[in-house]
A = this chain, B = another copy of it.
Amino acid sequence: MSGESAFAALGRKLRLGVIGGGPSSFIGDIHRKAAKLDDRFDIVAGVVSSDAERSRQGGKQLGLPRPYATLAEMLGVERARPDGIDAVAIMTPNDRHYAECMAALHAGLDIICDKPMTNTIEEARELARRVQATRHVFCLTHAYSAYPMIRQARAMVAAGAIGALRAVQVEYLQAGMSLRVEDGTLTRKLRWKLDTAQSGPSLVLGDIGTHAHHLARFVTGLEVERLSADLGALVPGRRVDDYAAMLLGFEGGVRGTLTVSQALPGTENNITLRVFGETGHIEWTHDRTNHLRFAPLNRAVQILARGDPDLLPPAQRLVRIARGHPEGLLEAFANLYRDTAEAIAARLTGRPADPLALEFPTADDGAAGLAFITAPPSNRAPTTAPG
């Protein structure tokens, strides 16, 4: 964790306003803990519900110094304060991201935003353009990309450790929607997830498909150029997608597969990424997040560990505690916040950011994610009969 020169030069913590993430929200708690973990953000303000009264109450309950009723109120009041917020963190239902991001940019703020970035490809492209134009900092919270051993994987691929790439496999398997949740009393979260107007064109692709897609792009450095999809619902009668399997064609002729589902009983948020090159392959699984499997051609498999003394710099800088002492999702999420703080500090101070801090996902990644989500509908099933 060296070289964060811009943040050090800034000489103060950044002030963050949260949008969404009320007291009962799982992801809200993660965001707030991650933002604070490295003492680079104070959470000083927030709009934590689309209902004005609930928002104010929820903000108080969370102990926010300045709880607001509406986003407009927060942006207006904070702008007028000498100690107003520097950035917002957005963790609302997907259909609200676009407007909230645009408002935040208009208010001159930097942004940390949950994925998927928007619900349409048009919005995504427009937002990416606007981020580009304003030169504001935008971090999309694909937190899995901030695990140290994923950064090691990316650095090894870039350094040629497995040679020219050949094939990629990525999967993200969940069990959470295995039952007919539609039939019970819907939680607030399920209500918007099951409403495609809010959650977007393909639930499974927006919820976890984008994570898998980003992880593959992030580690390989390659874009998906073509795909064939098998997309739909495993649970009978379900009207949103809960399963997607795809054949992928990456740049340069690299082949791949992607499988994601939220309705596979017995799975546990299993994320697995394998990247094969001409001289070996690497494999990372969420379940063993502190390790990376490296299998060179015709030699013994190696199990690299977070904390090994010879990790590459992008991984080494994220190691917080000694080898053998496990780190988890919270630290990965916090890595995104810490690096975003460096980028924001660089913008505010005009000093260069630590280059290794700039690997967090951006609005351009968000636009790539929407292109991926919106590609398959023309192509939802296998086509050929054998025999």
Chain A interface residues toward B at CB < 8 A:
26, 30, 33, 36-37, 39, 63, 121, 162, 166-167, 169, 174-176, 178-179, 224-230, 232, 234-235, 243, 245-249, 255-257, 259, 261, 263-270, 276-281, 286-287, 289-290, 294-305, 307-310, 321-331, 368, 370-372, 374-376, 378-379, 381-387
Contact = CB atoms under 8 A, between A and B. Distances in A.
Contacts of A297: 175, 178-179, 265-266
A215 to B, nearest CB: 15
Contacts of A322: 26, 176, 269
A329 B322 CA distance: 10
Contacts of A281: 264-267
Contact of A372 (B37, B298, B386): B386
Contacts of A225: 385-386
Contact of A296 (B266, B304, B325): B266
A275 B264 CA distance: 10
Nearest to A39: B63
Q: This chain: how many copies in the complex?
A: 4
**Interface class of chain A by DSSP:** mixed
A323 B227 contact: no
A383 B226 contact: yes
A386 B202 CA distance: 14
A32 to B, nearest CB: 9
Contacts of A257: 230, 245, 257, 259
A355 B210 CA distance: 43
Given A257-B257, A300-B303, 9 more contacts: A167-B261, A175-B297, A226-B386, A266-B281, A298-B308, A298-B310, A372-B387, A374-B387, A375-B387
Contacts of A379: 383-384
Nearest to A37: B33
A65 to B, nearest CB: 13
B386 A326 contact: no
Contact of A227 (B256, B280, B384): B384
B247 A245 contact: yes
A329 B323 contact: no
B323 A269 contact: yes
Nearest to A27: B321
Contacts of A325: 269, 286, 328-329
Contacts of A329: 321, 325-327
A383 B228 contact: yes
Nearest to A165: B234
Given A167-B234, A247-B230, A278 B255 contact: no
Contacts of A295: 265-267
Nearest 4 pairs between A and B by C-beta? Answer: A266-B295, A371-B387, A269-B324, A268-B324
A77 B287 CA distance: 48
A147 to B, nearest CB: 9
A24 B298 CA distance: 22
A228 B294 contact: no
